[in-house]
Amino acid sequence: MANHYQILVVGGGNAGLSVASQLLRKRSNLNIGIIDPSEKHYYQPAWTLVGAGIFDIKTTVRNEKELIPKNTTWIKEAVSEFQPTENKVKCTSGDEFTYDYLVVCPGIQLDWYKIKGLKETLGKNNVSSNYSFQYAPYTWEMIENFKGGTAVFTNPTTPIKCGGAPHKIMYLACDYWRKKGILDKCEVHYISGANTIFGVKEYADTLKKVVSKYNIHVHYGANVTAINGADKTIEFVTKEIDENLNQKLSNKNAACYGIIETQKTDELKKVILNFDLCHAVPPQSAPDFIQNSPLRDPENPLGYVAIDKHTMQHVRFPNVFALGDCTNAPCSKTGAAIRKQAPVVVENLLAILDKKKMTAHYDGYSACPIPTQYGKLMLAEFDYSNTPKMTFPINQANPNWAMWILKTKILPWLYWNKILKGTA
């Protein structure tokens, strides 16, 4: 295997395969290497549907080998170091690879350990998370067998991939319990690090009605610190947040959710709740090997790759681009965002390669399909300015059946058959 590539892609997930395929469709003679250690490739957006009992987990995974674009080289290794001044990456095996152009997209890191006790109790004691291939099926087991009591759903204080996933599963669970006739025996709590249910007013207005319909107790500006599965307790610290007041929001990666910045002087209230069922979402950050590298944004506490949010080019190393969940672009981290980022990376990288001016521009587009009950979904689409950018000629803020079909049937098919192949 060669150790120099014209274009080296780090991470063969949603972003990496989309970009590699699109590059080859534009120019079939490019010499592209894709570094990724994983034998498996996951369609993560369907894990919400697995947790809701309507998707088989097996349909969300395929062999990476079958998806790697033809005419690229798959390097089955894990990158551990970036040396951008030498155009070189180092792998955990000690192998080194050099490049002319680098595309960085190894996804996001799940920091389970930042909630004390969570890792140990996942998959048992009625504690689960759709953020894990291993445990998403257990979410459904818990929801299906629930007989009533206190159900808690958490959302961390950091930006995460798919900001909607922590509450999507909550609405589906409530709807399931409603149909089963036990919702009035359920006390449902949403414990969230954000300051609102959704950062785009038009969509938030719909979700506030949904929250009220299911009688959900919301705790905003809350940081979950510990989950004790055996004792069935969850601990969080919070400062009282009123969603209707204008709180001071962090502008660092807040995306469509305002993350509350806590000051050292803030008085935080510690709350301990007993629960019978808990769906937890871990805090997230850039993978450690990015945080510890020269590619990171030194201003960003979570260590994301420092890019220009419109061109997707690294701010210090012009032959480096990044996209997907690993960047500091203040957009919502989704596959939908990648669909708009990938063509921008491709066009701008090829412009640089041709010694031309970059002209492609990413406007922060992202989308979040939020099911509000089985059979109905609100497709929230928006950009950096958090204004709605609706694709369809209907008011997408009204949950409807067509968008449900889009999420459950059309998007999974598009992902495997078009998006990863660079044709959508």
Nearby residues of 210 by Cβ (< 8 Å), 6 or more positions away: 171, 372, 399
Instruction: Tell whether residue 359 is a contact of ligand FAD (CB under 6 A).
Output: no
Choose which of 49, 68, 152, 162 interacts with ligand FAD (CB under 6 A). 162
Q: Which of 162, 186, 256, 278 is an active site residue?
A: 162
Binding test (CB under 6 A) with ligand FAD, winner from 67, 78, 351, 406: 78
Q: Which of 336, 349, 377, 419 binds ligand FAD (CB under 6 A)?
A: 336
Cβ partners under 8 Å of residue 349, min gap 6: 7, 23, 101, 103, 321
Establish if 156 lies at the interface with ligand FAD (CB under 6 A): no
Within 209-268, the residues that bind ligand FAD by CB under 6 A are none
* Residue 170 sits in the site that holds ligand FAD (CB under 6 A): no
Per-residue tokens: 371: 């099911």
Residue nearest to ligand FAD (CB): 13
DSSP string, 66-100: HHSPTTEEEE---EEEEEGGGTEEEETTS-EEEEE
256 tagged catalytic: no
Rounded CA Rg of the chain: 21
Rounded Cα–Cα distance for residues 188 and 277 (Å): 9
With CA atoms as reference, report the closest residue to 8 among 102, 105, 104.
Answer: 102
**Is 44 within 8 Å of 415 (Cβ atoms)?**
no
Contact 305, 314 (CB under 8 A): yes
369 makes contact with ligand FAD (CB under 6 A)? yes
90 versus 310: smaller Cβ distance to ligand FAD: 90
- Interacting residue with ligand FAD among 322, 333, 350, 365 (CB under 6 A): 333
Q: How far is the CB of 399 from ligand FAD (least distance, A)?
A: 15
Residue linked to tokens 């078009």: 418
Q: What is the DSSP letter of 184?
A: G
Contact flag: residue 63 with ligand FAD (CB under 6 A): no
Binding-site size, ligand FAD (CB under 6 A)? 35
- For ligand FAD, the closer of residues 35 and 194 by Cβ is 35
**Residues in Cβ contact with 385 at an 8 Å cutoff, skipping those fewer than 6 apart:** 364
Active site residue 331: no
Does position 196 interact with ligand FAD (CB under 6 A)? The reply is no
The C-alpha atoms of residue 4 and residue 87 are separated, in whole angstroms, by 10
What CA–CA distances, in Å, run from 90 to 19, 97, 181?
A: 22, 7, 57
Residue 11, interface with ligand FAD (CB under 6 A)?
yes
Tell the smallest beta-carbon distance from residue 148 to ligand FAD (Å): 25
Binding to ligand FAD (CB under 6 A) within 96-155 occurs at: 105-107, 130-131
CA distance linking residue 139 with residue 137, whole number of Å: 5
Residues at the site binding ligand FAD, with contacts judged by CB under 6 A: 10-16, 35-38, 44-45, 47-48, 78-79, 105-107, 130-131, 161-162, 165, 287, 289, 324-325, 333-336, 338, 369
Q: Give the residue numbers marked as catalytic.
A: 162, 368
